[in-house]
Amino acid sequence: MKRAEPLTQLQSIEPNTGSPPLPPAASPEGAAAAPAEARSLLATAWMRIRRSKIALLSLCVVVAIMLFAILAPVLSAMSGNDPFTSNTSPDVLDDFQTPGLPLPGYMYPSAQHWLGVEPGLGRDLFARLAYGGQVSLTIALLSTAVSVVLGTVLGAAAGYFGGKTDAIISRIMDLFLAFPHLLLVLSLTPILQSRLRDTPLGEGSFLPMASLVIILGFFGWAYLARIVRGQVLSLREREFVEAARSFGASHLSVLFRQIIPNVMGVVLVYATMLIPTNISAEAALSFLGVGVKDPTPSWGQMLNAAQSGNWYLSDPWFLAVPGIMLIVTVLAFNLLGDAVRDALDPKASRH
């Protein structure tokens, strides 16, 4: 029977419909065969990724982008600029024909401004791109971590305990999957921000980051939970679980020591695919004006700045800088995700 479950293929619309839905999860054999420890799992993945040129290239690009973001303070110090100082002097920005437009010497890359300057405020684009990368990637990685922890634990609990626990968690998953992701996240972010404002999380530039991590993390776990649940349903019938139980291990101990380590392969695959989705989601929300806001830079905020006031029409370079960065990053993560899936889950690989 090829009858897919009704909601499995639901994806978030628009912020990157992303890779196609994960194929029906790996066979239990495949997952169980994967070594139990995370280190040997990564080693297995690495061994297989090394053989594919595209996978290796995308891994290099991902590492380079991470370094670029981590080293933002160093790199922008080297270029002699910071992301917040604006320079609107008539030597830099046009004062006559199109007020605010960078003069030709400042619009494009130069020795002084490695990627030119922003129209309107004259801030250094290279520094904003690097610091923006810190913000965008931090949000994407942390929210992925939140989703992965929630999805793994809840999915494994549903599959392992079955019965009422399963029924309740599964119904919650169905509900989470029924909501259009972007729309829900979009409407709840301002609400959460207004609530967080008076808490320690609500300080300055920290507020949008914290709220995006919470919202994206909290609404992104259901799909992974469904996959993990399916895996655990068959895992729990296997001998080693029974053995652990007969030695007197508690349910919780079996869940965390026996069950969850055995689904880490699928979890790793899904986590790699969730990162680009969350990068796109941050970009989408900040672009719409509910995420990261000026003066804090993020790649989505930079897209927002390019659209606001129609700057991108007179200064297409201003759109190209964050746009190309975003495309390269999402593409590299997507290709890496495909490679990790092919490496850890050969049954699900593309033909």
Partner 1 sequence: MMTFILRRTGSLVLLLAAVSFITFTLFQLGPSDPAAAACGQECTPERVAEARVALGMDQPFFVQYFDYIRGLFSSRMIGAPGAQTLCEWPCLGKSFQTNENVADIIGRSLPYTFSMAIGALILWTITGVGLGLLAALRKGSPVDKFIVGAASVGVSLPIPVTGLFLLLLFVNQLHLLPFTTNEINSPFGPQGPGAWVANYLLPWIALAVLFSASYIRVTRTNMIETFGEDFIRTARAKGLAPRTVTFKHGVRAGITPVVTMLGMDIGLLLGGAVLTEQIFSVPGLGFTAVHAAISGDLPVTMAITMLAAFFVIVANVAVDLAYAAIDPRVRLQ
Query: In the stretch 285-314, what mask flags binding to partner 1 with x, by CB under 8 A?
Result: --xxxx---------x--x--xx----xx-
The yes or no reply on residue 338 touching partner 1 (CB under 8 A) is yes
**33 or 54: CB nearest partner 1:** 54
Count interface residues toward partner 1 (CB under 8 A).
Answer: 64
Which one of 36-44, 96-104, 153-161, 184-192 is the stretch in contact with partner 1 (CB under 8 A)? 184-192
HSE on the CB side for 209, CA within 13 Å? 22
The yes or no reply on residue 99 touching partner 1 (CB under 8 A) is no
Please state, in angstroms and rounded to a whole number, the distance separating the CA atoms of residues 342 and 344. 6
Residue type for position 131: Y
Measured in degrees and rounded to the nearest 5, phi and psi for residue 55 equal -65, -45
Place of tokens 């479950």: 5
Query: In the stretch 17-36, what mask flags binding to partner 1 with x, by CB under 8 A?
Result: xxxxx-x-------------
The yes or no reply on residue 323 touching partner 1 (CB under 8 A) is yes
Please state, in angstroms and rounded to a whole number, the distance separating the CA atoms of residues 281 and 304. 13
The yes or no reply on residue 53 touching partner 1 (CB under 8 A) is no
Which one of 36-44, 246-254, 256-264, 334-342 is the stretch in contact with partner 1 (CB under 8 A)? 334-342
Q: What DSSP line would sit under 200-247, residue for residue?
A: GGGSTTHHHHHHHHHHHHHTSSHHHHHHHHHHHHHHTTSHHHHHHHHT
The yes or no reply on residue 335 touching partner 1 (CB under 8 A) is yes
Largest CA-CA distance found in the chain, in angstroms, rounded: 83
And the tokens for 28? 């239990």
The yes or no reply on residue 342 touching partner 1 (CB under 8 A) is no
Please state, in angstroms and rounded to a whole number, the distance separating the CA atoms of residues 336 and 66. 14
Is residue 332 within 8 Å of 58, Cβ to Cβ? Answer: yes
Q: How far is the CB of 260 from partner 1 (least distance, A)?
A: 28
Please state, in angstroms and rounded to a whole number, the distance separating the CA atoms of residues 60 and 130. 18
Q: Which of 99, 104, 109, 180 binds partner 1 (CB under 8 A)?
A: 180
The yes or no reply on residue 201 touching partner 1 (CB under 8 A) is no
The yes or no reply on residue 77 touching partner 1 (CB under 8 A) is no
Is residue 177 within 8 Å of 10, Cβ to Cβ? Answer: yes
Positions touching partner 1 (CB under 8 A) are 1-4, 6-7, 9-11, 13-21, 23, 171, 174-175, 178-180, 182-184, 186-192, 194-196, 276, 280, 283-284, 287-290, 300, 303, 306-307, 312-313, 316, 319, 323, 326-327, 330-331, 334-335, 338, 350-351
